[in-house]
């Protein structure tokens, strides 16, 4: 799919995977609408071609309004990359008692429902655009995780939310095929994001040592590069692609 003179939406676009993806798209002459929480956008880097929109992905009405803004331009909305998410850590039975149901629900609400809200609203706007010569109208890429397959101790809520994203990839692709919209997902391993800045160098080195090759943490720019490759490759549809250096997570 040719992205030149088109628009795109990236959620979680203020930092990490979202920021790297927004910047990569903008570098390809795409008008990017980066959606994130208002307090997160206060620290976002001002870059030509990126327009920031404050919205909570768990709020369907706010998402709908943001998507409509992104779609109301002369450039057709062609690409959506969902990067917004949270990583709660809690065991089913912890020292303070059973896993907090509210925390579990929050992980599902942000990671799964937030992704679905954007997917559904964006698809509704993308289907209104004129298709290209191959009948394509757009591509939606969601962010899963290797935790969907190799969830570790304390990741039950996170793993469940990401496994659900894996599970909805194929049916979503089938649902939207008649509208010329492809749906795929990326399942990253351990990525050097702002979240990782909170851990010690020792922990970071230990995580990197567990990756077969290359023996380091992934970079946000590599996620962005893969997203652009998926968008460019017209025959990749309904797929979940692991980006993990052959890492298979151990129980802890």
CB 218 within 8 A of CB 161: no
Query: Pick the catalytic residue: 33, 52, 158, 235?
Result: 158
Provide the token pair at 237. 């549809």
- Give phi and psi for 24, each to the nearest 5: -65, -40
Instruction: Answer whether residue 201 shows pLDDT above 90.
Output: no
Does any domain span residue 250? no
Instruction: Answer whether residue 195 shows pLDDT above 80.
Output: no
Percentage above 70 pLDDT, the chain: 99
Q: How far apart are CA 29 and CA 5, in angstroms?
A: 6
CB 176 within 8 A of CB 80: no
Does any domain span residue 130? yes
In the predicted model, what is the mean pLDDT of residues 73-92?
A: 96
| pLDDT of amino acid 45 | 87
Question: Strand, coil or helix: what is 109?
Answer: helix
Does any domain span residue 248? no
Q: How many domains, in total, are found in the chain? A: 1
Q: Which residues are within 8 A (CB) of 53 and not within 5 positions of it... i.e. 6 or more apart?
A: 33, 34, 35, 36, 66, 69, 70
| pLDDT of amino acid 194 | 79
Does any domain span residue 191? yes
CB 231 within 8 A of CB 79: yes
In the predicted model, what is the mean pLDDT of residues 141-145?
A: 98
Provide the token pair at 244. 């993990």
Q: Which domain holds residue 199?
A: 6-243
CATH code assigned at 26: 3.40.50.720
Q: How far apart are CA 214 and CA 246, in angstroms?
A: 9
Provide the token pair at 166. 């894996």
Does any domain span residue 149? yes
Q: How far apart are CA 8 and CA 126, in angstroms?
A: 10
Does any domain span residue 225? yes
| pLDDT of amino acid 198 | 67
Would you tell me the crossing angle of helices 156-176 and 114-126 to the nearest 10 degrees? 20
Q: How far apart are CA 79 and CA 138, in angstroms?
A: 6
pLDDT, tens digit (0-9, with 9 covering 90-100), for 10-52: 999 999 999 999 999 999 999 999 999 999 999 898 999 999 9
In the predicted model, what is the mean pLDDT of residues 69-77?
A: 96
Instruction: Answer whether residue 237 shows pLDDT above 70.
Output: yes
In the predicted model, what is the mean pLDDT of residues 229-234?
A: 97
Q: How far apart are CA 13 and CA 79, in angstroms?
A: 14
Active site residue 158: yes
Percentage above 90 pLDDT, the chain: 90
Does any domain span residue 1? no
Does any domain span residue 252? no
pLDDT, tens digit (0-9, with 9 covering 90-100), for 100-127: 999 999 999 999 999 999 999 999 999 9
């Amino acid at each position: 799919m040719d992205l030149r003179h088109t628009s795109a939406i990236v959620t979680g676009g203020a930092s990490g995977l979202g920021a790297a993806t927004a910047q990569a798209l903008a570098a390809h002459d795409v008008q990017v609408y980066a959606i994130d929480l208002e307090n997160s956008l206060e620290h976002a880097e001002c870059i030509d071609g990126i327009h920031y929109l404050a919205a909570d992905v768990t709020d369907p009405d706010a998402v709908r309004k943001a998507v409509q803004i992104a779609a109301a331009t002369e450039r057709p909305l062609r690409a959506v990359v969902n990067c917004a998410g949270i990583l709660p850590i809690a065991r089913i039975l912890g020292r303070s008692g059973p896993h907090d149901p509210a925390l579990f629900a929050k992980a599902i609400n942000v990671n799964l429902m937030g992704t679905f809200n954007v997917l559904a609203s964006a698809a509704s706007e993308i289907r209104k655009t004129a298709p290209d010569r191959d009948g394509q109208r757009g591509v939606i890429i969601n962010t899963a995780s290797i935790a969907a397959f190799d969830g570790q101790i304390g990741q039950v809520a996170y793993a469940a939310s990401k496994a659900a994203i894996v599970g909805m990839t194929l049916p979503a692709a089938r649902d939207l095929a008649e509208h010329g919209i492809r749906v795929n997902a990326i399942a990253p391993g351990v990525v050097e994001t702002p979240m990782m800045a909170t851990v010690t160098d020792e922990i970071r080195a230990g995580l990197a040592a567990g990756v077969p090759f290359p023996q380091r943490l992934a970079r946000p720019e590599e996620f962005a590069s893969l997203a652009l490759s998926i968008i460019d490759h017209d025959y990749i549809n309904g797929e979940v692609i692991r980006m993990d250096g052959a890492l298979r997570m151990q129980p802890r």
